[in-house]
Structures are given as structure tokens and as C-alpha cells.
Amino acid sequence: MRLRFPSLLFVSLCGIAPAVLGNLLHWSAWLWGFMSMGMTSGSLLLVLTFFGGGHPRADRYEAGEPEPPAAPTEQPYQETRVIDAVLPSAVDGYDFLFSATVWWRPVPDHTGSSDGASPALAASAIVSRALEIVRREQPGRASFARFFLEGELSVPLPDRSGRVMALAADATLTLSPADRERLRKLGDLLKDEEIWEYEREHERNKRRYLGDDVLQSAGSAVVWWLARHENEIDRAVDMIGPLAQIAAAAKNEAVPELFRHLLVPPVGARSEATGGGPLWADPGPGAGPFDREAEAGAADRLVLLLAAVGVKPDMDEYTVLVNRVVLSLEMAELHEAAAEIRRALLPTPEQSDGAGEDEGEGSAADPSEDETTSPYFWDASHQPHRPTAPGPRTGEDES
């Protein structure tokens, strides 16, 4: 039983009042003490009677709040599975394989609910939600779409009919092994093609730079070469002829007359110069096209090689190098090439005697004739005399 503070205060006042009145009226202690005890007992009995009787019980039932009605208990979630459901992607022919664990429960107080159809309705609702999400995703983004899909399907939502509430967990989204291999090959091809496009564009730019800028003229080609070899001025002078020839070939034009005397002779020019014929003689009607590789022999190639390194026929090194090449070919048992080079480039004793007589006659001649030089870089007078027809091979030549 609970006593309130006003009730206790009432009992206390009733017990103190006789004592105060007795002191003021000079009553005896026995009198006002007896009266205080009586007042205290009476007031306490009155309070107990008021709170412990039938009236307080009726007030407790009347003042109490009505209890709310008990809520209906919700049914627990049940489990079903979706395994390898085929979902289309943003690219035709590449489908996702969707799997997940579906948790569902019937919606309370829904008419027409059926426990047998509820798992199918829940799985259908989850697959429909997944289809709306992944139909805009690229096949190569399956791993990213999986996390996005799992987050969206973790929210419980009712199906279209409103019978079941369903959500999904442990969602997976993959491609078939064949599609993954195709995507890998396609990605490699696209990367290779991109690299090839960059390389082709780089080659285009280089050709444009060489054709439109560097090889625009012989002078621009020489300046370009000199800019890359600043400390080789002497060699730059020797490169004027080849650079002029390259610049003219790049534009499908003839070499300007100004630079023709600096050109390296083409293949076969040595034999033609000694024979007195033109460098580019017309083969005549009915002849096949000019084949430089077919007409070039071992002797012609050796002449071009010596000319490229700067060894001229009037140098002592010329004969030394030719003799070494002939000996090396003979040691390698290449007798035909060695014999050809010997006949073409090494003078016979008769030619050497004739050359000495010609030198004596030249010394008696007017010295002003010796001072005149050919305007061409490749002078035919510097070439050794080549016999008009090869002589028969002797035993000494074969040895």
C-alpha cells in the first residue's frame, strides 16, 4: 500500500496540534500527550480506511489506461534458391548468369495467399528486379554489377501481386566461360589495334616530316643531316650527293644539274664508263625491264663498296683491298667470283706496261691538260682498264 505525502502531512499535523494547544493552555503533560496519541491514531486510521477500502480500488480501475490489443505475430522468413537465371546484358549475345538466396514470407491478412505458390512468386519477384538492374550493364562489368545488384536486392519489397515480401542475399552475377574467353580475346584485339593505330599515325607523321620538310630539297636534306651531326662537317660535304639523290627520289624527280657531279654512280656505271657507252643506255625494243640486281656482278658490287667508303682507284689502298678480297674468295673456294674480280679490277702485266707508256706520253704532253679534271665526282679515267672480252682461263688463274 502506498501512502501519499499529503496523507502523511495530515497525520503529522493531527498529532502535533494537541501538544501545541496543551503548552499554550498550560495543560498537564499527561493530558496533551494522551490527546496527541489519540489524534495521531485516529487520523492514521482514517487515512488507512480511505486508501485501503473499496473506493480506492474502484478509482484504480477507472483511472488506468486501457491495454492496447495484441498485435498479430509476423511469420518468419522462409528460404528458396535462384540458380543460374539467364539475364540479358546491354550487348546482344552476352547473357549474365544470376544466382541468389531468396528470403520470403507471406503478407499478413492477404486474401488468396497460397503457401505452395509463394516460393515461386518470391523467386519471380527477385529475378524481375535483377533484370531491371543488369539490362543496362556491359558484359565486362559483371563484377561491379554484382555488388550493385546485391545491395539493391537486400531491401524487402512485395511482389507484383502483393502476396509475398521477398529479398535476396548472396547474389552472384557471372558470364559463361565461353563468353568470358571471347571478351578476353576481343579486349586483347582492341588493345593491339589501338597500339597499331598509334604506331601507324606515328609512321605517317614521320613520313610527312621527312617528305614535306627534310627532303623538300637537297639543301634542306643537307641542313637536316648537319643538324644531327654537328661535328662532322667534312663528312657532310661527302653526303651532299647522296642526300640530293634521296631528296630527288622522294619527290620522283631528277637530280638537279647542280648536284649531279656529286652523285655516286649507279650499278654498272663503271663498266659503261670504261666502254664509252651511256650510263643509262636504252636496252632496245623487245628487251625486258632493267634489273639492277640481276646485272650487278661481284666486281660491280665491290666497286660500289670501295666508292662508298671513299677508296678511289688512284689510291694504293684500292689495289691492296682488291687483292685481299680476291685471296679471301679463293681461300673460301669461291673461284668464279675471285676470277671475275681479278679480270675486272686487277690489270694484267700487258695493261700495266701500256699504262706506263701512256704515262710517259702524258708527261711529255702539255702540262695544262693534266690540270683539267672531270667535272664529275666519279671520273672514268680513274677506273682500271677493263678488257673488252674476258680471256681464257689458265691454270694459274684457277690456282
pTM of the predicted protein model: 0.41
DSSP one-letter code for 374 = -
Contact (Cβ atoms closer than 8 angstroms) between residue 282 and residue 353: no
Counting Cα atoms < 13 Å in the Cβ hemisphere of 276 gives: 2
Cα–Cα distance for residue pair 128/145, rounded to 1 Å:
15
Contact (Cβ atoms closer than 8 angstroms) between residue 328 and residue 334: no
Counting Cα atoms < 13 Å in the Cβ hemisphere of 98 gives: 30
Overall fold of domain 78-177: Tetrahydropterin Synthase; Chain A (3.30.479)
CB atoms within 10 A of CB 10: 15
Question: What are the two backbone dihedrals, phi and then psi, of residue 362, each rounded to the nearest 5 degrees?
Answer: -70, -35
Per-residue pLDDT 10s for the chain (399 aa) are 455 667 777 777 777 777 777 778 777 777 777 777 877 777 777 777 776 554 444 444 444 455 665 555 667 888 899 999 999 998 888 999 999 999 998 887 665 555 667 889 999 999 999 999 998 889 888 888 888 888 899 899 988 888 888 999 999 999 999 999 999 999 999 999 999 999 999 999 999 998 888 988 889 999 999 999 888 888 888 888 888 888 898 888 888 888 888 876 554 444 444 444 443 344 444 444 444 444 567 888 888 888 888 888 888 888 888 888 889 888 888 888 888 888 888 876 555 555 444 444 443 334 333 333 333 333 443 344 343 334 444 444 443
What is the DSSP track for 43-68? HHHHHHHHHHSHHHHHHHHHHSPPPP
Interacting residues of 233 by C-beta distance below 8 A, sequence separation 6+: 226
Distances (CA, A) of 327 to 120, 332, 340: 96, 9, 12
